[in-house]
Every structure is written in structure tokens, then in C-alpha cells.
Chain A
Amino acid sequence: MATLRLSRVTPWTALLPMALVAALGYLGAGLWTFYISLTGSRTFPSGHFIGLAQYHRLFDNERWMLSLHNLAAYGVLFVLACLVIGFLLAVFIDQNVKGEGVFRTIFLYPYAMSFVATGLVWQWLLTPGDGIDGTLRELGFQDVRFDWIVSQDVAIYTVVIATVWQMSGLVMALMLAGLRGVDPEIWKAARLDGIPAWRVYAQIILPLLWPTIATVLLLLATAVAKLYDAVVAMTQGGPGIASEVPAKFIMDHLFLRSNVGLASAGAIVLLVPVLALLAPYAYARSRKEAA
């Protein structure tokens, strides 16, 4: 009897520290942030309740609106590009190429480096007059201009390029693991039936990889929401405010601009799409487990 009770209690005891951290660190901090977002807090958190005024001010702010817009454009492009490139790289390596280990390392390497450092390298590469632009002109392409990073309309895309370079290696690694898990019998059967390889990938392998893709999507989506270091290292949100993103707005107001209330309102607004994205995923998983 006693042993039975102990065996029932043990897993809960083991889970307790994690549960406490989750409850206090995530849930508690989330609720606290929401509370602060309803106050007129400036440098210091205060209890001066002002209702939804911070949210009103937030959505009256041109930079915040542009940040949201940038994040949406960035998110779609970044996720799609990472998925496609990561998958193609994985397929390429899956062809049993020579020196597979070398390629894998090269592709995964960007992910292993701090983006603050590599972002600076990207900034140099993209500066008009130097880097890619300068090299092209030295090679004789006098009319070629590559000045995206200083251009209002496309500066945010340079951030897409650099972060895709960084993340697609990780996507490749995950996809490759998925591909390696595919039953070789499927390939044999497909070969016997004379189905071309691309159709096997598109119609058989990809659907089989769905759980891997879901994981990748989740990772990429969180990377989108917390996009900060790449922008700081490459454009500082510029030129002007052209490549601002919500996380930078929040950080700026937390520390530089001493407006904890407005920053908290921004953080809560940023939490909403993340939850909206996570909820169906969590729901689908719970259904699956119940079934």
C-alpha cells in the first residue's frame, strides 16, 4: 500500500520544481506583465491604474504599427524560405553524397554562431560601396546596385536573407533526421513501380514527415516572434524606422525610454499571436494523445 502511494507521488514530486518554475516564471510573469500594462508605470512599476490607455497609445504609434507589419512580412518569408531551403538541403544530403559530414557541418555552422557577430558581418557585406555591392562593381558590373540595406522598402528583406542563412541549417538537420527515419522499404517499392524520385518526395515522404515539419514550424514561429538580435546587429531598425520589429520596440521602451507600462502592453500584444499559434498545436496534440 505504502509503496503504491510512493510510486504515485514520486513522479509528481519530480515534476514539482519544473511546475513551480513554469507557474511562477511563465504564468506569473505573464500575469504581472498584463497587470503592469494596465498601469501608468514609467521607470519603476507603479500601481497607478489607467485602464487600456497604454494599448490605445500603442496602436496610435506609427512605429509600433510598422513593426507589426514588418513582423508579418518577415514571418511569412522567413518561415517559407527556411522550410523550402532546409528541406532541399536535407534531400541533397540524403542522396548519400560524398563528404556528407562536411556539408552537414557547413550548413549547420551558422546556427552555432552568435547572431550579434554574424549580423555585423552581414551588415558589412550588404553596405553599399563595400561588400557585395563593391565586389560586383570591381568585377566590372558597373550598373549593378545592391543597396537593399539602406533602402526604405526592402531593408527588412536583408534581415530575412541573413536569418534564413542562419536558421535553414537547423531546419536541414531536423528534416534530415526525419528523412533518415523513413522506412527504406518505401523507396524500394517506389523504385519497383518506377515512380520518379521527386514524386516520391512530394507525395509520400513529405506527408510522412508531417510531425517533423510541425516541430520545425513551431521553432521558426517562436524565432519570428522574438526577432531582435538580427535587426539590432544589422540595421538598428533603420533606415529611419523601416526595419523596426515589435521585440525591439519593447526592449527600447523597457530600458532606453523608461516606459515599462507601454513596453508591457507591447509584450502582451505580441503574446496574443504566439498563443493563437500554439493553441491549435497543443489542442491537436492533446486530441491525439486522448485517441
Chain B
Amino acid sequence: MYGTRRALLCAWLCATAIAAHAGPRAEVIHWWTSGGESAAVKQVEQAYRDAGGTWVDTAIAGGDQSRAVTINRIIGGNPPTAAQFNTSKQFLDIIEEDLLNPVDDLARRDRWDEVLPAPIVDVIKVRGHWYAVPMNIHMQTWIWYSKAAFAKAGIAREPATMDELFADLDKLKAAGIIPLAHGGQAWQDILLFSMVLSNMGGRDLYLKVIRDRDQAAIRSAAFRKVLVAYKRLQAYVDPASPGRNWNDATALVIGGKAGMQIMGDWAKGEFIAAGQAPGRQFGCLPGLGGDSPYLIQGDVFVFPKTGDAGALRAQKLLASVVEQPGVQLAFNKLKGSVPVRLDADASQFDVCARKGMAILRDPKRPVGVAEVYLTPDQNGALQDVLTAYWNTNMPVERAQNSIASALRY
């Protein structure tokens, strides 16, 4: 009895002692909790352990919830060592309050100015300092289509213009297939809209509206055409669409019940989990035509300010581990995204990811998604208008006016 207790006590003490000597201890808040995501983050955790650190995992389901916890803990004076954010303006306010540690050394050493795509640099570099370590790049507006459904509808080649897209949707409809699988949730509505705006309006109009919030561009005839085309897509969506989750919409494409879905590259995981292979049972189209803008976002780690030397060491170690090419490959293969470095080795990825990595190297094509340029509440206000416009018979003029006033503040 006493023996076991003493053994237990020793085990506990010894474990604590080992932990104390196990090098920098990093508490990491993130929201990678789904199957593939948590497998991906385990790779980072393992690499951090191998580098001599102790990883304390604080996984919180749901990005909103996770970010709220991070911000509350920063305000409360008990920040985590590192925390996940999206590559967006979500953490701009924290930078401006001077609550994040910059990672300038690492950025200089790894020449981030040269090897990271410009939209990513724009968000993580503020007034000459680097405040976040990028993990991955997601492209949000892929067109995923079912090869079986396309064959049934008699579609021989992938659409290259908006008109061809509508023609294909008509063919799918005539063949008795749901032409467009869409989950009617606000964030999916804005994603669909971004796809139409970038493919139809091109890079210039997209950036003028979303990045510059240019009132004249928003009130232009070209932008109105985009809004009309966006709304036109609604005729190709099935009645049960409102409120549907994105993966349920993907399941419709996987089953051949729907022709296509416009969704980020995380949808690929659903196809693969269902035993389908890219280029065989399903196709992936990064945009219409050869030079469509490529809408990217991703995840980053930020490092809340701390005076504690141990925590500072942990932050430095984590930042350098995350950027190792091996860690980047292992993480992104499981996550469905692609590495942030333009010089990453593409040969280990599937055909869709390879297409994406090639596009990323063309400096004219990558642009950020709306969240990269807009503050969370501007983005939210835009989302409110778009989802109302999508779901009601709001006249296009009114939608245009509402967008102008949503982006004015």
C-alpha cells in the first residue's frame, strides 16, 4: 500500500521535475479540432517536442470561441504562449495595442519578404514589423465538380468564363441534377459572392471594392452586373439549401446528386475521405479561365507579449519550428492546405494542391479573401447584406446601396 503510494508520489514528482527541465514550455491555443486538423497539429506538436520544447495543448472548438478566449486572456493579463488566428485583420487591434511580440529575426533570416505571397505579407507585417508566423495557405473559392454528373449532363470541358459556367449549370439542371450544391449560411454566401466578383470583375474591381472600399467602384455598373450574376446563381440551388453545412453540400457532389460546389480546399478532405481521387471521380477548378484571381487566406500563430524569459524562449522556438520545411509539408498535407513558402516542394502533394502552388508563384494572381482587407465588423456587415440579398427579393440597386453603406464605416 505504502509502496504503491510512494511509487506514485515519486512518479508525480519525477514527472514534474522532468517537465521543469524539458526546455521551453509553450501553451498553444488553437481551433484545429476536427479529425484531419487535429492530426495536422499533432505534427507540429511532435516537431516542437523533438526540438526540446514542452507543448501544452489548449484546443478550443470553433474559431470564434477560440479567438474570444485568446483575446480575453490577453486582456486579463494571462496570455497563452502562442495563439492561432486567421491570416486576416482579426489580430490588427491587438498589434495596435502593442500586445504582441514581433518575430522580426525569423522573418529576416527566412527572407519572408521574398518567399511569402504578398497578401499574406500585407496582414502579418505592420509598420515594418512582423507580428505573426504563417502556417498555411487556403484557397477559398475552388470549383469542385463531380465527373459523373458532368458526364451525365454532357459537359465535355471545364467552364472558362461566367457564361460557360451558366450554360453548364443549365445543362446540369436539364439532366435532373442539382446544378450547384450550396450551404445557405452567411459565410458561404460571401464566399460564393467573392468567387463571382473575382472571376467576373477581375482583380481590379475585386481589389477596388474589397480592399479600397472605393464608393465609386461599388456604385459602378460593372459591380451591379456582378451582383446580378451572383443572384442568378440562386436559381441553380436546391430548396433545402438554407442553413446547410458546407460538408453536407460537398456530400451532394460526392454522391453525384449535385454538379458542383464552390468551396475552399478543405472540401477536398471530404472527397478523399469518401474514397474519391482528384482528377478521377472529381475535378478541381481554381477559377474560370487561365488568369483568374486566386483568393487566399490561412492560419497564423501570434505570440502575445510577455516579460517572462522562459515564455519568450518558448515563443522563439515555436516560431522557428513552425517554419521548418518538413513541418510545413507534414502539417499541410493533413490539413488540406498548402505551405506558405513559395519555394516549398510541391511533388508530395496531390494534383489540386500542385495546381494551387503553381498559381501562387504567379505574383499577379493571389489576392486575399475579404477578411484579409476588411475589419471583422466591415466583413460582417458586408456578409449581412449579401446574405439578405441572396435570400430575399431585394432589388439589386438596394443591395448596391446597402453594400456601399456597409463598407463606409
Kindly state whether residue B154 has any CB partner on chain A within 8 Å: no
Interface-located stretch among A84-92, A176-184, A212-220, A249-257:
A249-257
A:41-89 near B, CB below 8 Å = 42-44, 57, 60-63
Let me know if A238 and B243 touch, CB within 8 A: yes
Let me know if B239 and A262 touch, CB within 8 A: no
Let me know if B381 and A256 touch, CB within 8 A: no
Let me know if B380 and A257 touch, CB within 8 A: yes
Let me know if B391 and A259 touch, CB within 8 A: no
B:153-188 near A, CB below 8 Å = 184-186
CB-nearest residue of chain A to B402: A62
Contacts of A44 in B (CB 8 A): 75, 93, 97
Kindly state whether residue A147 has any CB partner on chain B within 8 Å: yes
Let me know if B94 and A152 touch, CB within 8 A: no
Kindly state whether residue B46 has any CB partner on chain A within 8 Å: no
Contacts of A241 in B (CB 8 A): 186, 384, 387-388, 391
Contacts of A63 in B (CB 8 A): 381, 384, 388
CB-nearest residue of chain B to A252: B380
Distance in Å from the Cβ of B287 to the closest Cβ of chain A? 26
Known contacts A236-B243, A239-B242, A258-B90; is-contact A152 B381 (Cβ 8 Å): no
Per the bound structure, the CA–CA distance linking A253 and B381 in Å amounts to 10
Number of interface residues of B (CB under 8 A): 34
Per the bound structure, the CA–CA distance linking A238 and B392 in Å amounts to 11
Kindly state whether residue A240 has any CB partner on chain B within 8 Å: yes
Distance in Å from the Cβ of B89 to the closest Cβ of chain A? 9
| B67, B71, B390: the one within 8 Å of A240 (CB) | B390
Let me know if A150 and B240 touch, CB within 8 A: yes
Known contacts A43-B71, A238-B184, A239-B391; is-contact A147 B376 (Cβ 8 Å): no
Interface size class of A (residues with CB under 8 A): 20 to 34
Contact with B along A106-133 (1 / 0, CB 8 A): 0000000000000000010001110000
Contacts of B68 in A (CB 8 A): 255
Distance in Å from the Cβ of B193 to the closest Cβ of chain A? 13
Let me know if B375 and A62 touch, CB within 8 A: no
Let me know if B184 and A258 touch, CB within 8 A: no
Let me know if A62 and B377 touch, CB within 8 A: no
B:88-122 near A, CB below 8 Å = 90, 93-94, 97
| A127, A152, A242: the one within 8 Å of B240 (CB) | A127
CB-nearest residue of chain A to B97: A44
Distance in Å from the Cβ of A229 to the closest Cβ of chain B? 15
Distance in Å from the Cβ of B392 to the closest Cβ of chain A? 5
Residue numbers of B with Cβ under 8 A of A are: 64, 67-68, 71, 75, 90, 93-94, 97, 184-186, 239-243, 375-377, 379-381, 384-385, 387-392, 402, 405, 409
Residue numbers of A with Cβ under 8 A of B are: 42-44, 57, 60-63, 123, 127-129, 147, 149-150, 152, 235-242, 252-253, 255-259, 262
Starting from the known contacts A63-B381, A242-B388, A257-B376, 17 additional A-B residue pairs (CB-CB under 8 Å) come to A43-B71, A62-B388, A129-B240, A149-B242, A152-B391, A236-B185, A236-B186, A236-B243, A238-B185, A239-B391, A240-B186, A242-B392, A253-B380, A256-B64, A257-B377, A258-B90, A259-B376
